[in-house]
Amino acid sequence: MQSSDDPPVIPSDRAASEEDQTASESDQTASDKDQTASDEDQTASDGDQLASDEDQIASDQESAPGTSRQARSKISARRDHATQMRGGRARARLDSAATRDIAAKERALMAGARDQIAERRNQDAEPQDRATTPAGAMTGEQLLRVASDRRRAADDRASAAADRLRAATEREQSAHDRTVAARDRVQAALDREASEVDELTHVRRRGAGMEQLERELERARRSGEGLVVAFIDVDGLKRVNDTEGHLAGDALLIAVADSLRACLRSYDLVMRFGGDEFVCALPNSSLEQVRGRFGQVSRSLGACPAAGSITAGFTELLDGDRAEDLIRRADADLLAQREGA
């Protein structure tokens, strides 16, 4: 039985303590998510550094004299790797933003819970303020309890304010993460485009070109339209390199690529297959039409300052063909034309 001198039993005090424990657990959860977001940030930063290192190595190798075809293939692989890392970095930053959003939401909820705890503690203190002993005064123990409840309520409100501030900071960081991730995605797309283009001639590299050729094959099979593949060899490039220098040889390669792009359609594939070799794919075309277009290419090339020439072989898509089959037959047609010349 409770005496009149005992502090009143306030059921809500236990509820406030339980809510205190819940808030502390939520605080730990939000802190864990904050740490996860920071770890994801670090992963993205590490990806930044690795991508930059790969780019630097590729640039150093590319500028080295006498770079072989095999070395250029490795350079291309390094650039592809750097591009993939930049894409991964963007995903890591988006993950970080999502994690921070969740942490911010939990902190905001926690702030509301702490405000409720503070209000409950104030409610606990009110009846104790009014409770008196038979002598008309509160006992020292009651006074201490009231002061403790008031102090804890003030602490809860301060914690709630801190939670709201941290939630706002996390939302701000989340928005920043998304902005940086968007920038990373744009850069990754630019890097990917650059990695698919031959630095000298600005046509497709072999790897990217072969992928596009496979897509053209599939499209031609689905639509039932024709597809012609041309294999082009630049005449006398070695002689130009030996007699006029490699800059003159580069100018000839650029002139060939420019003539191909100018005389073919914008959606026709043009790729640099090897040092002095190009492969083109022309969808929805006949052999006669393609030969006519390459006549234009030869005339355009002959009129340019480099004044070079090409030999081209052609083949049409047959049932069951793979990309390699088309290229092999077009190359064989080129050799046949040279032997018959």
Q: Are residues 250 and 220 in the same domain?
A: yes
Whether residue 263 is found in the same domain as residue 157:
no
* Predicted TM-score (pTM) of this structure: 0.52
Domain assignment present for 328: yes
* Of the candidates 216, 199, 309, 295, the residue with the CA atom closest to the CA atom of residue 255: 309
In a domain, 100, yes or no: yes
Assigned domain for 1 exists: no
Is 201 a domain residue? no
Whether residue 139 sits in one domain with residue 271 = no
Task: Locate 40 and state its tokens.
Answer: 């994801």
- Angstrom distance (rounded) from CA 204 to CA 122: 73
Residue 66, burial from CB neighbour count under 10 angstroms (0-12, 13-18, 19+): exposed
Name the residue range of residue 134's domain: 11-195
Contacts from 295-302 at CB under 8 Å and sequence distance 24+?
Answer: 296/263, 297/259, 297/260, 297/263, 297/264, 300/259, 300/262, 300/263, 301/255, 301/256, 301/259
Distance, in Å, from the CA atom of 279 to the CA atom of 92, rounded to the nearest integer, reads 38
Q: Can you give the CATH number for the domain in which 309 is found?
A: 3.30.70.270
111 and 70, same structural domain? yes
47, 177: one domain: yes
Residue 2 in any domain: the answer is no
Are 36 and 163 found together in one domain? yes
Sign of CA dihedral 73, 75, 76, 77: positive
For 197-249, the pLDDT digits (tens) are: 888 999 999 988 999 999 999 999 999 989 999 999 999 999 999 999 999 99
Residues 122 and 147 in one domain: yes
Count CB atoms within 10 A of the CB of residue 44: 24
Segment 121-150, tens digit of pLDDT: 666 666 655 554 444 556 677 667 767 767
Among 141, 172, 195, the domain boundary falls at 195
- Clarify whether residues 107 and 224 are in a common domain: no
Mark which of 175, 195, 215 sits at the end of a domain. Answer: 195
* Residue in 249, 274, 268 with CA at minimum distance from that of residue 334: 274
Instruction: Look at residue 66 and give its three-state secondary structure.
Output: coil
- Compute φ and ψ for 149, nearest 5 degrees: -65, -45
Count of the separate structural domains present in the chain: 2
The answer to the question of residue 170 being in a domain is: yes
Same domain, 34 and 177: yes
Q: What pLDDT digit, counting tens, does each position of 36-72 carry?
A: 656 656 665 665 555 555 555 555 554 444 545 456 5
Q: What is the pLDDT of residues 245-287, one digit of tens each?
A: 999 999 999 999 999 999 999 999 999 998 899 999 999 999 9
Q: Are 314 and 330 in contact (CB under 8 A)?
A: yes
Structure confidence at residue 307 as a pLDDT band (50, 70, 90): confident
67 neighbors 61 (Cβ within 8 angstroms):
yes
End position of a domain, from candidates 195, 218, 247: 195
Do 330 and 250 share a structural domain? yes
